[in-house]
Amino acid sequence: MQQDYKPKNIEVVVQQYWKEKLAFRAEDQSEKPKYYCLSMFPYPPASCTGHVRNYTIGDVLSRYHRMKGFNVMQPMGWDAFGLPAENAALANNVPPAAWTYSNIDVMRTQLQSLGLGVDWSREVTTCKPDYYRWEQWLFTRLFQKGLIYKKTSSVNWDPVDHTVLANEQVIDGRGWRSGALVEKRDIPMYFMRITQYAEELLADLDQLEGWPEQVKTMQRNWIGKSYGVRFAFPYQLDGKQDKLWVYTTRADTIMGVTFVAVAAEHPLATRAAQGNPALTAFIDECKHGGVAEADIATMEKKGMDTGLKVTHPLTGEQVPVWIGNYVLMGYGEGAVMAVPAHDERDFGFAKKYGLPIKQVITKGRDDGFGDGSGYGGGTASGARSEDGSGTDSGGIDTPFTIVRWQEWYGSKVVGVCINSGKYDGLGYTSAVDSIAADLAVKGLGEKKVQFRLRDWGISRQRYWGCPIPIIHCAHCGDVPVPDEQLPVVLPENVTITGAGSPLAKMPEFYETTCPQCGGAAKRETDTMDTFVESSWYYARYTSPGCTTGMVDERAQYWLPVDQYVGGIEHAILHLLYARFFNKLMRDEGLFGETTFTSVSQKKKSKRGGQNPLMNRLPTCSRKVW
């Protein structure tokens, strides 16, 4: 017996034996119970070292179940489209395709040398037409159903490179290559109506018993179902009656509204800026910077009075309209009511610009507003004391103690309405009910359930992605590419310049004819978000070689995934999109209801709870690719 373990002598022989015997082939029919063990597929440019840990977990589980008598499927594939390939192309002057295929070869060799029990006959490569053609097929179906639609949306625009930047490519508000100050620019994009499935995606979380609570909580918060009131501030402008709509979950504070804030792109802002150079300049300033929410949330809150006034729907008072750089046109109505006394952000804004602060909720005598003569201090119009404990100087002698106020100001449980006329004394629920009813009588509002979740913008102004199968015809509009013309193949021999998509410079790609009228037409040159590919690879693994659709009947056998191994960094986006795609594919009749939320299988151990689609996430929390 050898004293030392010499992997080159032993592992090569064993791996060759496994290969010849097809030791890890997963049978599509079997008397044995099936066990689908899915490790998230790698992005091939990444170095292999980070994957070892992750794939070892899946391999251990797979081998354990094989020994326990399961028909195990452990597949592997490549998440092969993506931005880094274009960056590498720029740096090394290699086409993204060649670079990607070369990386895949290296990585396959590395993974195989680990001796993982993978059924390599199921290998999936997302940048190959046999994979992405079915993605295009689904796109055309969803487009016809109205589940994909076009609207404008803001992107990061590099004014020097004349190109759209990913959030990652914006560093401190500047383009990573040009160093130019990035601007927001509105361009047309295709969106998937994930919001149409919001309720179902939320409700299903309760069925995913094997999922970590942490992940389910993050998804619940992301979907963000809220119960509020949508209402309007009427106004008259240019001789016309109109309404400014807002949404709030704190309708009980509506009597404390002292201003409204609209996004820089809001029609009212645009109108107010006419003939007002200062406002125009401010709106322009709001366009600086990127579109990432983290940046917007942390930047300094700025605003400017438009000079316009709208009418409070209940009091009839005139309320000033401000432009706020923190109000986003794409979210909700692009306008918010501001109640400085009971919202921290509004409070900061009001303090900065000297706007009135009107208390309308109190928790009692010790509410921090106190005026020394019974609670309910009226208008704490100043609240400018810097240390938060002094007395304001706003005319009314109203002490305002931020420290005590901060303990409760945002609570829906503590406190009742004051300074609110007929609503005085009401708690949160009864105040909202009463106010919503009064708004409804006036035709100015109603209760509304709203989701934080937004529709999924899938257009990318990139080359290395799946082409969006749409043809633009001057006569017929946006026409989906007919099935018989799929796939729309991405040309692989291109030169990347870093300024705009190469596809938009290739007449041989974009010049085409309209499938409907036969006239000259232009092919869409945007590609899809790479999350689209990773949203259904788990299903494609079940049906290798299928040329008739995304999947075939084998999907029904193998799904749901019994065990998923992936990093926590995918807890929201990827895993939400994957759940969404499961529903889209279900609704196309590709498989049944249970492929994500099956409850038919027996529970095994506490650890391996069997019912959900991907039933446990041993989170390897390192971001390794």
Helix axes 573-587, 213-223, angle to 10 degrees: 70
Q: Which stretch binds RNA (CB under 7 A): 164-172, 480-488, 494-502, 547-555?
A: 164-172
- Cα separations in angstroms, 454 against 65, 447, 511, 599: 40, 20, 33, 29
79 makes contact with RNA (CB under 7 A): yes
Our CB check for RNA shows the closer of 476 and 572 to be 572
Q: How many CA atoms lie within 13 A of 349 on its CB side?
A: 27
226 makes contact with RNA (CB under 7 A): no
Our CB check for RNA shows the closer of 282 and 408 to be 408
70 makes contact with RNA (CB under 7 A): no
Strand extents, DSSP E, 172-250? 174-175, 183-192, 225-237, 240-248
Q: Which stretch binds RNA (CB under 7 A): 359-367, 505-513, 539-547, 572-580?
A: 572-580
Cβ(79)–Cβ(127) below 8 Å = no
572 makes contact with RNA (CB under 7 A): yes
Our CB check for RNA shows the closer of 428 and 537 to be 537
453 makes contact with RNA (CB under 7 A): yes
Tokens of 471: 């043809």
List the one residue from 206, 293, 397, 511 that touches RNA (CB under 7 A): 293
57 makes contact with RNA (CB under 7 A): no
CA-based torsion, 425, 429, 430, 433: positive or negative = positive
Tokens of 2: 């050898």
Tokens of 431: 């105040």
Our CB check for RNA shows the closer of 194 and 308 to be 194
621 makes contact with RNA (CB under 7 A): yes
- Cα separations in angstroms, 519 against 75, 83, 478, 516, 622: 45, 34, 13, 8, 52
φ and ψ of 394, to 5 deg = -90, 20
43 makes contact with RNA (CB under 7 A): yes
In angstroms, the CA 470 to CA 292 distance is: 28
Our CB check for RNA shows the closer of 322 and 456 to be 456
Our CB check for RNA shows the closer of 25 and 452 to be 452
156 makes contact with RNA (CB under 7 A): yes
457 makes contact with RNA (CB under 7 A): yes
Q: What does the CA dihedral 398, 402, 408, 410 come to, rounded to 10 degrees?
A: 100
List the one residue from 37, 88, 142, 165 that touches RNA (CB under 7 A): 165
Q: How many CA atoms lie within 13 A of 103 on its CB side?
A: 25
Q: How many CA atoms lie within 13 A of 327 on its CB side?
A: 27
Our CB check for RNA shows the closer of 291 and 559 to be 291
φ and ψ of 492, to 5 deg = -100, -15
222 makes contact with RNA (CB under 7 A): yes
528 makes contact with RNA (CB under 7 A): no
| Residue 143 burial (10 A CB sphere; 0-12, 13-18, 19+) | buried
Q: Which stretch binds RNA (CB under 7 A): 132-140, 162-170, 352-360, 558-566?
A: 162-170
Q: Which stretch binds RNA (CB under 7 A): 5-13, 160-168, 259-267, 308-316?
A: 160-168
The alpha carbon of residue 525 and the mean position of all alpha carbons in its chain are separated, in whole angstroms, by: 23
The alpha carbon of residue 459 and the mean position of all alpha carbons in its chain are separated, in whole angstroms, by: 13
168 makes contact with RNA (CB under 7 A): yes
625 makes contact with RNA (CB under 7 A): yes
570 makes contact with RNA (CB under 7 A): yes
Our CB check for RNA shows the closer of 222 and 245 to be 222
Least distance CB 276 / RNA (angstroms): 30
Q: Which stretch binds RNA (CB under 7 A): 91-99, 333-341, 458-466, 540-548?
A: 458-466
54 makes contact with RNA (CB under 7 A): no
Q: 37: helix, coil or strand?
A: strand
Count, residues near RNA per rule CB under 7 A: 51
189 makes contact with RNA (CB under 7 A): yes
Least distance CB 341 / RNA (angstroms): 18
Least distance CB 574 / RNA (angstroms): 7
Q: In this structure, are strands 183-192 and 148-158 parallel, antiparallel, or unpaired?
A: antiparallel
172 makes contact with RNA (CB under 7 A): no
List the one residue from 119, 252, 346, 529 that touches RNA (CB under 7 A): 529
Question: Tokens 């983290």 label which residue?
Answer: 294
- Cα separations in angstroms, 601 against 99, 215, 594: 43, 22, 10
500 makes contact with RNA (CB under 7 A): no
List the one residue from 58, 75, 77, 82 that touches RNA (CB under 7 A): 82
The alpha carbon of residue 140 and the mean position of all alpha carbons in its chain are separated, in whole angstroms, by: 22
460 makes contact with RNA (CB under 7 A): yes
298 makes contact with RNA (CB under 7 A): yes
Cβ(323)–Cβ(304) below 8 Å = yes
Least distance CB 198 / RNA (angstroms): 10
Contacts to RNA by CB under 7 A: 43, 79, 81-84, 155-156, 164-168, 187, 189, 213-214, 217-218, 221-222, 291-294, 297-298, 452-454, 456-457, 459-462, 529-531, 534, 568-574, 621-623, 625
